[in-house]
Structure 1
Amino acid sequence: MKLIELIDVSRSFGEGEMKVDALKKTNFSVEAGEFVAVIGPSGSGKSTFLTITGGLQTPSEGKVMINGNPFSEVSEKKRAKLRFEEIGFILQASNLVPFLTVQDQLHLANKVAKSKVDREKRDSLLEELGIMDLKNKFPSDLSGGQRQRVAIARALYHDPSVILADEPTASLDTQKAFEVVEILARETKLKKKATIMVTHDERLIGYCDKIYVMKDGVLTEREKI
C-alpha cells in the first residue's frame, strides 16, 4: 500500500525571467515497510521535495496523497491535522524541548491531541531504542546519538504512517550515525512505516530499500548496488 504519493508534483518560485523550478515534475511513492533515501548536492531541491512531502508547503502543480487521503489540496487547518496524525519528523538537530525530560518529550503529542499518556507504548518504544534508563533525563544530559534516539521515539509515539528524516545523522560521528540509521530501518520494517531519509552521506544508504538522486530539481531512482 502506498502511504505517501506525489503525482506530477512541481514547485516554482518567482515569475518570468526570475522563475526558478526548485522541483520539476515528480512522481514518487513509498509503501508500508519501505525505507527510502534521497541524496544529492546542496541546492538540488531535496529540501523543497521534503517540505512538500511533509505538507509544510504546497506544490505549484500536482498533488500529494498521504495514506490514501488528499494532502496538498486541502485547507491548511485540515493539512495541519493530517500532518500531526500521519507524519513523524526527525530533523538534523533533534529539536528536543530543553526543559522537558525524555518521557515528557513524547507526552507533548498527548497534550496536542488532548489524549491520555500511553505508558505501555512509551516504555515499549524507549526500551526498543535502548533509552529506557534515560526517561527522566533532560536533553542537556544526553549525547548526540541519544538525543536522536529520543527524536525517533517522539516521531514514532503517535503512530504516524510516514517518517520524514532530514539529515538525521549530520551532527553525529560515524558509529552513532550508523546506529541511528539502523534503528530507523528496523523501526520502519517493524512498524510498517514509509520512511524517507534525506542525507548527504552515501555510506548510510546500504540500509535503504531504494535510493533516489535529486539533481537540479529532478528526482531519479538509482539502481542499488
Structure 2
Amino acid sequence: MKLIEMIDVSRSFGEGELKIDALKKTNIAIEAGEFVAVIGPSGSGKSTFLTITGGLQTPSSGKVLINGKPFSEVTEKKRAKLRFEEIGFILQASNLVPFLTVQDQLHLANKVERSKVDKQKRDELLKELGIFELKDKFPSDLSGGQRQRVAIARALYHDPSVILADEPTASLDTQKAFEVVEILARETKLKKKATIMVTHDERLIAYCDKVFVMKDGILSERISG
C-alpha cells in the first residue's frame, strides 16, 4: 500500500532569470513498512523535498498523496488536520518541550485531539524504545540519544502512517546514531509506517530499504550492486 506518493511534483522560487528550481519534476512512491533514506549535499533540494512531503510548503506543480488522501491541493486547514493525523516529524534537535516530562511530551497529542491519554499504548511504546524508566524525567535529565528516543516515541504515539526524519542523528555520537536509526527501521517495519530519513551520514543507509540521492533538485534512486 502506497503511504507516500508524489506525482510530477516540482518547486521553484522567483521568476525569469532569478528563477530557482529547488525541486525538479519528482515521482516517488513509498509503501507501508518501507524505510527510505534521502542523501545529498547541502543545498541540493533535500529540505524542499521533505517540507513538501510534510505539507509545510506546497509544490509549484504536481500533487502529493498521503495514505491515499490528496494532500498538496487541499486548504491549509485541511492540510494541517491531515498533517497531524498522518505524519510524525523527528527533527535534528529533538524539539522536546523543556518543562514537560517524557510521558507528558506524548500527551501533547491528546491535548490537541482533546482525547484521553492511552496509558497502555504510551507505556508499551516507551518500553519498546527502552525509555520507560525515564517517563517522569525532564529533557534536561536525558542524554542526546535518550531525547531522540523520546522524539521517536512522540512521533509514533498518535499512530501516523508516515514518519519524516530530518537529520535525526546529527547531534549524536556514532553508536547512539546507529541505535536511533536501528529503532526507526524496526518501528517502521513493526508498525507498517512509511519512513523518510534525510541524512548526511551514509553509514546509516545500511538500515534502509531504498536510498535516494538528491542533486541539483533532481531525486534519483541509488541502485545497489
Query: Normalised by the size of structure 2, how large is the TM-score?
Result: 1.00
CA distance in 1, matches of 2:191, 2:140: 29
Q: How does 1:20-169 map to 2 (within 5 A)?
A: 20-169=20-169
CA distance in 1 between counterparts of 2:38 and 2:30 reads 12
C-alpha distance in 2 between matches for 1:5 and 1:168: 22
1:198 aligns with 2:198: yes
Is 2:180 aligned against 1:185?
Answer: no
Deviations 1:162-202, CA, capped at 9 Å, x for gaps: 00000000000000000000000000000000000000000
Q: Which structure 2 segments of 5+ residues have no match?
A: none
Deviation at 1:224, TM superposition (A): 2.6
Structure 1, unaligned runs of 5 or more: none
Q: Distance in 1 between matches of 2:25 and 2:4?
A: 16
Measure how far apart 1:208 and its partner are. 0.1
Cα distance in 2 for partners of 1:2, 1:224 equals 22
Q: Partner amino acid for 1:188? A: T
Question: Partner of 2:149: helix, strand, or coil?
Answer: helix
SS at match of 1:50: helix
Q: How far apart, in 2, do the equivalents of 1:72 and 1:45 lie?
A: 18
What is the deviation of 1:103?
A: 0.1
Q: Percent identity?
A: 88
The alignment's C-alpha RMSD in Å is 0.4
CA distance in 2, matches of 1:29, 1:96: 30
SS of the residue 1:168 aligns to: coil
In structure 1, what is the Cα distance between the partners aligned to 2:73 and 2:107? 30
Partner SS for 1:185 = helix
Structure 1 stretches of 4+ moved >2 Å = none
Equivalent-residue separation in structure 1 for 2:179 and 2:98 (angstroms)? 23
Q: Distance in 2 between matches of 1:159 and 1:58?
A: 24
The alpha carbon displacement at 1:219 in A equals 0.1
CA distance in 2, matches of 1:135, 1:223: 41
Q: Identify the residue that residue 11 of structure 2 maps to in structure 1.
A: 11
Query: Which residue type is aligned with residue 164 of structure 2?
Result: L
Instruction: Return the letter of the residue paired with 1:222.
Output: R
- CA distance in 1 between partners of 2:6 and 2:42 (Å): 22
How many residues were matched structurally? 225
Cα offset, 1:29, TM superposition: 1.1
Describe the SS at the equivalent of 1:107: helix
Q: 1:97, 1:171 → 2: CA distance?
A: 18
| Aligned-partner SS, 2:63 | strand
Distance in structure 1 (CA, Å) of the matches to 2:151 and 2:106: 9
- Given residue 184 of structure 1, which amino acid in structure 2 is its aligned partner? L
String of CA shifts for 1:50-85, please: whole Å, max 9, x gaps. Answer: 000000000000000000100000000000000000
Q: 2-side partners of 1:63 and 1:167: how far apart? A: 25
Shift of residue 223, structure 1, vs aligned partner? 1.1
